């Protein structure tokens, strides 16, 4: 008898929908299309020789251990090194018992969702938000309460309004999810004043903050701002960090910092998910960082991505019509563009592919899918000349629609 898997799916899985964005992005996979749609580091700067050296040393030095299962928490050497790095950024009082190595930050998001979200629970997210976070929280059937962003990041006064409204309706949000540095997709950074205010609100309203910060170290202008974890401590903040953007996403490594009661739940969730993150890449990462190579690599990408970002902003100034607007990020990987006359960027996508240029449609990042006039442009993965040509093609297309 044939098996109808549809009868077996969980209620949760019944809600899983293939992302139409991924379907759209399949169209991008052709060399003649200039893709500003990615979110990847530029692999031309990967220091392959150094990674080979770190890897062969790791295998010689730790051989069997590196190829064996490790502890769910991750190898101690690496966690201690991360604790030291965080202390240099002003994050104090973090011990080994507060850090778990994750299979990059996407797993951090998924574990946070698993640990905190029951179906129908309200969580507060930025509008727009990182798509992968919306997927992780959505897969646990979270209900999204949104707070808009402006040039200084999350609008904290509006957050307070929402917190008051939720309180008045006796709804306790499980957490606020925020990406404070060089936001994906919006490129904006939460100002210092707002960071302090946000932590104060977290204290006043007993709010848990999930701080997702893949891009903070990829800063090419301005002063580095203290993290929410540094300002608020672990009582109110769970921090998700990753090696993906500051080094290589292929390591599939990140780390989660949280108070012990939270981390102990996360660890059980992680055991169920993957037992432990790859041991071998943890040793490679340790060797790479402890030789000072991570810091050197970060300096290279800061310098090179700055040039690419400048090329993109100049091209936008030159080729985009009046009425379009965009963010000018001080770091990260993305520029967020608002089309003039609120041109429908989802409908325009196929025409852009015909013009051999691609972007990510803005609607993907809105939890309530109520904004159709933005597009996310990536500058990290493309050479400056191609960035300029891609922006020119997009500018022409937009002008033809006005
Ligand atoms: C804000 C944000 N969080 C998390 C991730 C997940 O990255 P990874 O799992 O590679 O660490 C990304 C990737 O683009 C991101 O932009």
C-alpha dist (Å) from residue 14 to 109, 110, 115, 135, 361: 21, 18, 21, 14, 25
Atom in ligand 1 nearest the alpha carbon of residue 103: 9
pLDDT of residue 29: 79
Helix (H, G, I), strand (E, B) or coil at 242: strand
Q: What percentage of residues in the chain have a pLDDT greater than 90?
A: 91
Instruction: Pick the range with the lowest mean pLDDT from 5-19, 141-155, 242-256.
Output: 5-19
Supply φ then ψ for residue 378, to 5 degrees: -100, 135
CA of 132 to the centre of ligand 1 (A): 7
What are the contacts of 154-157 at 24+ separation with CB within 8 A? 154/126, 154/178, 154/180, 154/190, 154/194, 154/198, 156/194, 156/197, 156/198, 156/201
Atom of ligand 1 nearest to the CA of 242: 11
pLDDT for residue 25: 77
For position 3, what pLDDT does the model report?
93
> Bridge-partner residues for 238, per DSSP?
210
Q: What average pLDDT does this structure show over 246-251?
A: 96
- Asked if pLDDT for residue 20 goes beyond 80, the answer is no
State residue 139 phi and psi, 5-degree precision: -70, -20
pLDDT at 282 over 80: yes
Parallel, antiparallel, or unpaired: how do β-strands 237-242 and 209-212 relate? Answer: parallel
| Probe residue for ligand 1, chosen from 22, 25, 105, 189 as the CB with the greatest number of ligand atoms within 8 Å | 105
DSSP labels, 151-177: TTEE-HHHHHHHHHHHHHTT---S-EE
Q: Is the CB of 184 under 6 A from ligand 1?
A: yes
* pLDDT tens-digit map of 200-239: 999 999 999 999 999 999 999 999 999 999 999 999 999 9
Tell me the pLDDT tens digit for each residue of 302-338: 999 999 999 999 999 999 999 999 999 999 999 999 9
pLDDT band at 342 (very low <50, low <70, confident <90, very high): confident
181 lines ligand 1 (CB under 6 A): no
* Contact yes or no for 246/218 (Cβ under 8 A): yes
Percent of the chain with pLDDT over 70: 100
353 pLDDT band (50/70/90 cuts)? very high
Cα 4 to ligand 1 centroid, rounded to whole Å: 35
The residue assigned the tokens 């490679």 is: 284
Instruction: Render 99-141 in DSSP notation, one character per residue.
Output: EEEESHHHHHHHHHHHHH--TT-EEEEEES--HHHHHHHHTTT
- Ligand 1 contact, 179 CB (< 6 A): yes
Least confident segment among 52-56, 87-91, 386-390? 87-91
Q: Using a 6 Å cutoff on CB, does residue 254 contact ligand 1?
A: yes
Q: What is the pLDDT of residue 115?
A: 98
pLDDT tens, 182-194? 999 999 999 999 9
Mean per-residue pLDDT, 349-375: 94
Please, is 80 exposed, middle or buried when counting C-beta atoms within 10 Å of its C-beta (0-12, 13-18, 19+)? Answer: middle
Domain 49-291: give its CATH code.
3.40.640.10
**CATH topology match: 14-45+295-400 vs 49-291:** no
Give me the mean pLDDT over the 101-105 stretch: 98
Does the beta carbon of 242 sit less than 6 angstroms from any atom of ligand 1? yes
Q: Is the Cβ atom of 128 under 6 angstroms away from ligand 1? A: no
User: Is residue 22's pLDDT more than 80?
Assistant: no
**pLDDT at residue 232, as a whole number:** 96
**Contact partners, residue 315, CB within 8 Å, separation at least 6:** 387, 388, 391, 392, 395
CA 27 to centroid of chain Cα atoms: 23
Dist. CA 271–CA 382, nearest whole Å: 38
State which ligand 1 atom lies nearest to the alpha carbon of 105: 11
Does the C-beta of 114 come closer than 6 Å to ligand 1? no
Cis peptide before 90 (omega within 30 of 0): no
pLDDT in tens, 64-73: 999 999 999 9
Helix (H) or strand (E) holding 303: helix 293-319
Q: pLDDT grade, residue 380 (50/70/90)?
A: very high
pTM score over 0.95 = yes
pLDDT of residue 27: 78
Residue 359 has a pLDDT of 96
CB 235 within 8 A of CB 86: no
* Residue 378 CA to ligand 1 centre (angstroms): 14
Residues recorded for the chain: 402
Atom of ligand 1 lying closest to residue 39 CA: 14
Q: Quick check: 113 and 307 in contact, CB under 8 A?
A: no
What is the per-residue pLDDT for 283? Answer: 98
177 falls in which pLDDT band (50, 70, 90)? Answer: very high
pLDDT in tens, 84-101: 999 988 998 999 999 999
Query: What's 14-45+295-400's CATH class?
Result: alpha beta
Res. 160 pLDDT band, cuts 50 70 90: very high
Residue 139 is predicted with a pLDDT of 94
**Does 20 or 308 have the greater pLDDT score?**
308
Domain map of the chain by residue range?
14-45+295-400, 49-291
Q: DSSP string of 33-69?
A: SEE-------GGG--HHHHHHHHHHHHHHHHHHHHS-
Cα 220–chain centre separation: 18
324-338 burial string, b = 16+ CB within 10 Å, else e? bebbebbbbbbbbbb
Centroid of ligand 1 to alpha carbon of 16 (angstroms): 20
Given this model, what pLDDT does residue 23 score?
A: 76
Q: Share the mean pLDDT of the chain.
A: 96
């Amino acid at each position: 008898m044939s098996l109808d898997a549809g009868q077996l799916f969980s209620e949760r899985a019944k809600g899983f929908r293939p992302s139409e964005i991924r379907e759209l992005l399949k169209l991008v996979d052709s060399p003649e299309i200039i893709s500003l749609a990615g979110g990847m580091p530029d692999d031309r700067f990967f220091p392959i020789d150094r990674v080979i050296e770190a890897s062969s040393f790791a295998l010689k030095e730790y051989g069997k251990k590196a190829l064996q299962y490790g502890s769910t928490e991750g190898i101690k050497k690496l966690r201690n090194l991360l604790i030291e790095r965080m202390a240099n950024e002003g994050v104090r009082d973090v011990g080994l018992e507060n850090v778990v190595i994750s299979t990059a930050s996407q797993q951090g998001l998924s574990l946070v969702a698993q640990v905190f979200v029951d179906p129908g629970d309200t969580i507060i997210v930025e509008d727009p938000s990182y798509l992968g976070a919306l997927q992780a929280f959505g897969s646990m059937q979270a209900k999204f309460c949104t707070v808009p962003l402006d040039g200084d990041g999350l609008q904290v006064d509006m957050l307070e309004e929402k917190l008051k409204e939720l309180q008045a309706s006796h709804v306790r949000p499980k957490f606020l999810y925020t990406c404070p540095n060089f936001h994906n997709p919006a490129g904006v950074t939460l100002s210092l004043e707002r960071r302090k205010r946000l932590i104060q609100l977290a204290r006043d309203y007993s709010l848990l903050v999930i701080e997702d910060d893949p891009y903070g170290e990829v800063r090419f202008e301005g002063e580095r701002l203290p993290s929410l974890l540094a300002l608020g401590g672990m009582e109110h903040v769970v921090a998700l960090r990753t090696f993906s953007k500051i080094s290589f996403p292929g390591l599939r490594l990140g780390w989660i910092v949280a108070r012990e009661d939270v981390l102990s739940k996360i660890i059980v969730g992680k055991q169920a998910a993957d037992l432990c993150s790859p041991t071998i890449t943890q040793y490679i990462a340790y060797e790479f960082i402890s030789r000072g190579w991570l810091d050197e690599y970060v300096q290279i990408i800061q310098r090179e991505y700055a040039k690419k970002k400048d090329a993109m902003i100049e091209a936008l100034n030159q080729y985009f019509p009046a009425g379009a607007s965009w963010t000018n990020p001080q770091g990260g990987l993305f520029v967020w563009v608002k089309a003039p006359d609120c041109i429908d960027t989802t409908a325009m996508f196929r025409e852009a592919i015909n013009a051999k240029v691609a972007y990510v449609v803005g609607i993907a990042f809105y939890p309530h899918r109520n904004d159709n006039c933005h597009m996310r442009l990536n500058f990290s993965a493309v050479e400056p000349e191609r960035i300029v040509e891609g922006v020119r093609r997009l500018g022409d297309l937009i002008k033809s629609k006005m």
